Amino acid sequence: MNQFLLSLLSGIFIGGAAGFLGSLMLPRRMSLAAGPLGHLALSGIALALIYGFDISLGAFPFVILGIFLIWLFERKTKLPTEALTAVVFATGVAIAFFFLPIEQAEAALVGDISSVHFDDAIFAIAICIATFLVVEIIYPKMTLINISEDIAKSQKINVGKYNLVYLLLIALIVALGVKVVGGLLTAAIVAIPAVTSRNLAKNLAQYKFLALSFGILSSAVGIFLSQLTSLPAGPLIIVSSASLFLISIFLKTRS
């Protein structure tokens, strides 16, 4: 299969799934959470680059470890999550730089979807489809939990279980996201499509659909531009996404 097509398809699926999941993270004020988790994954990415396996596989355990540590420290210390996140993710980045192969630093930091292997691409696409379906299934209950945990609990919804599934999905998307935009830019692929959509959507159905669409569109545009300019795709995807956001502001103020 054509390498460009392979990168394009992987990018589109990962971008779409990230945008879709991001639409659930925005109301929880968790859009930024994917950033630190992506940074933390740098250690795993470095290992994957050294030993030559799929960087998502390297990233995933580190993201899970990060989520677990933040959860654990939060329970033990009662300190604010964001402060603990700073402790955990900065340490992760620091450690990563001890052994990150410097000639491959760009791929680790801002991603490199252009050289994705066939098997890795199929694997990523399958995970994206699964993520999309699970997000779609948990969406109504998660929306209720986002609105009021008390109401959700009073309806005997197992809030803990839903939150666990939701966190696992974030870990999966971050691990896949580093393939496309690297460890530095993962916050952007979940945050920007959702805020752009939020500017334009009149209801929840539109909001979900637009977040998915903007995720797909910015990935596609970024990867096309990368092909034309031979600049890295990751930053181009983010810049495309941010451009859509700017346009949405103008459309919003005019409506």
Partner 1 sequence: MENAILRVKDLNVKLDGEDVLTDLSFNVDEGEVLAILGPNGAGKTTLLKALLGIVLYEGVIKWREGVRIGYVPQRLPFIKDVPLSVKEFFQLENASENEAKEILKSIGLGEKILRNKVGDLSSGQFQRILIGWALASDPNVLLFDEPLAGIDIGGQESVYNLLERLKVEKNLTILFVTHELSIVYRLADRVLCLNKRMLCMGAPKEKLTPEAISSLYANSIRFYQHKHEEG
* Binding piece for partner 1, criterion CB under 8 A, among 52-60, 120-128, 139-147, 167-175: 139-147
198 lies in the binding site for partner 1 (CB under 8 A): yes
**198, 35 contact by CB (below 8 A):** no
**181, 12 contact by CB (below 8 A):** no
* Rounded-to-integer distance, Cα 201 and Cα 132, Å: 20
204 lies in the binding site for partner 1 (CB under 8 A): yes
- Least distance from partner 1 to the Cβ atom of residue 219, Å: 23
* Rounded-to-integer distance, Cα 41 and Cα 10, Å: 19
26 lies in the binding site for partner 1 (CB under 8 A): yes
Kind plus residue range of the DSSP H or E element containing 130: helix 118-147
* Binding piece for partner 1, criterion CB under 8 A, among 22-30, 62-70, 184-192, 230-238: 22-30
Tokens of 122: 């199929």
Q: Which residues contact 51 (CB under 8 A, 6 or more apart)?
A: none
140 lies in the binding site for partner 1 (CB under 8 A): yes
Binding to partner 1 (CB under 8 A): which residues in 27-46? 27, 29
User: CA 228: distance to chain centroid?
Assistant: 25
162 lies in the binding site for partner 1 (CB under 8 A): no
- Least distance from partner 1 to the Cβ atom of residue 206, Å: 8
Interaction site with partner 1 (CB under 8 A):
26-27, 29, 140, 143-144, 146-148, 150-151, 153-154, 198, 201-207
